[in-house]
Structures are given as C-alpha cells and as structure tokens.
Amino acid sequence: MTSVNAAPAPAAWEIPPALGPRGTVVLLPGRGEDPLLYERFGTRLAADAYRVRAVADPSRWPREAAAQVREVLADADTVRPVVLAGSDAGALFAVGLVAAGEVAVDALLLAGLPTDKDADGAQSAEWEEELGTRTACPTHQGRLAAAERLERGALFRPLPPQWYDRAEFAKVAVPVLGLHGAADPVSPVDAARTAYAAAPRAELVTLADGRHDAFNDISHRSAAATVVLFLERLRQGADLAPIATREPLPGRAAD
C-alpha cells in the first residue's frame, strides 16, 4: 500500500497500437482502493479503444485526486469524448466536481453511488464480510485479499457530509450512466433510483445480485459491455441516440 502521506500516481491503460483512440475515461476509485485495482476494467475498455486513467482515492487524497483529474483533462493527448467515472466515494466525488463546474467532461459514469449521508459509515464488518460486501466475484476477492492495494475497513469510513451536499444531480447537464448492484448492501438500489431521478439526463442499470463495486463484481463482463455501449452512443452525440435496437417479433408478447 502506498504511504498515506503520498498519493499514488494515476494508473494508465492504453489502447492496442493498431487502433485509433475513441475516447477517454478518467476513473476515481472507491474508499481505500489503489488505482491499479481497476486493471481488469481498464484493460477491457482499452481493448475497445478507450484510453483509461485511474487517479488517487479521493476519500484519502481529495485535493490530489482532483488535481490528477484536471491534469488528465488538460493533457494534449486526451481524446474526446471524455467521461469522468467513479466508484463508491469516487462516484460521489465525481458528481460533486461536475455539479460545481470544477471540471468539464462529456458524461459521468458511476458505480455504487453512495446516497445516504446519515447512514454512511454505520456498518462495520470483519474482513471476510467486507470482501463480500465489495464484490461477489471470487477472482476480484482474491485480488483484494492478496494485494497490498486496499485499505481494509475503509469502505465503512464515513465520507464528508458536504460531499453529499455538493453532489447535486439537478446541476449535472451532461449524460449520466449509473451501474448499481441490485443487492448492494452499502447503497440500497431504491435510494439510488431516487438520486439518479434528479439528473436531467440519467440512465440507471442494475446488475442482478450485484454488490457494491459494480465495475468489479461477478457480472463485470456485462458491466463493461454496458459501459462500452454507452460510450459508443456518446460518440454519436450527447442525445445518446440508440445504435442497436431490440425489435419486437410479430406474434410474440413483449418481454
């Protein structure tokens, strides 16, 4: 684990050399997470020609994380559309940055958005329980348990109350995609629906039996595919016109 006194450098996942870049995703991790824990997610998006940068955990280094986001956005090599992504604390922090006009991006991509500042931090759990709360994916659980890239217990540390106040979805003009575990024990999905409903242009996708880390859960392939579809629609314009449409078949009832 990187020293608590020094924020880690952003992690980067580049696209294959033969492909032209289609956009950039800048990701803010969740509580206690090192940027490199998003290697699987970043590699998958990079394979579809989207550059990915994961910055420092804003719950530990808020100023440094915001500065790293701005540095990526100012980089001459950053390709639009640019999407600010976040998981857990990173999701709440990302909404606050955009709502306050502190960064200009083309869309928001959020996973496991915290919604209740009064209940935040009320949970506590042993390590095995925390693993199951974060993700049901055994592969990712193994990475969290083996790597020294996670601050154990951080998931249950309350976030600053002002972060919730700053995260005003009504002030977010860009498109928003939310991914949320249907069984998220940290942020109940019903509260997430209410939060996203305040955004002018938001879509919320729930993942069956999903836990808190929607990017790295048991359905991570479906989550990544959903993100890529969103990114491809965003490339066509901010109205997110559909690219692939499921057609009803004659004589069959709609699902």
Structure tokens given for 162: 């002002």
Domain span including residue 51: 11-236
Please tell me what DSSP assigns to residue 195.
H
Please tell me what DSSP assigns to residue 155.
G
- Say how far residue 147 (Cα) sits from the centre of its chain: 21
| Residue 121, pLDDT score | 67
Structure tokens given for 91: 């999701």
| Residue 1, pLDDT score | 43
- Lateral strand order in the sheet of 176-181: 11-13, 50-54, 23-28, 82-87, 107-111, 176-181, 202-207
DSSP assignment of 25-82: EEEE--TTB-GGGGHHHHHHHHHTTEEEEE---TTT-HHHHHHHHHHHHH-TTPPSSE
| Residue 255, pLDDT score | 61
* Domain-embedded: residue 76: yes
Instruction: Name, in order, each residue with C-beta under 8 angstroms of 255's C-beta and a sequence gap of 6 or more.
Output: none
CA distance 178 to 191: 13
The answer to whether the CB of 91 falls within 8 A of the CB of 28 is: yes
* Apex 209 CA angle, 207 and 213, nearest 5: 65
For the chain, what is the domain count?
1
* Domain-embedded: residue 248: no
E strands in the chain = 11-13, 23-28, 50-54, 82-87, 107-111, 176-181, 202-207
Half-sphere exposure of 84 (CA within 13 A, CB side): 28
Which residue positions in the chain have pLDDT lower than 50? 1-3
Q: To which residue do tokens 């530990």 refer?
A: 60
The answer to whether the CB of 37 falls within 8 A of the CB of 92 is: no
CATH code for the domain in which residue 80 is found: 3.40.50.1820
* Domain-embedded: residue 121: yes
Structure tokens given for 94: 């990302």
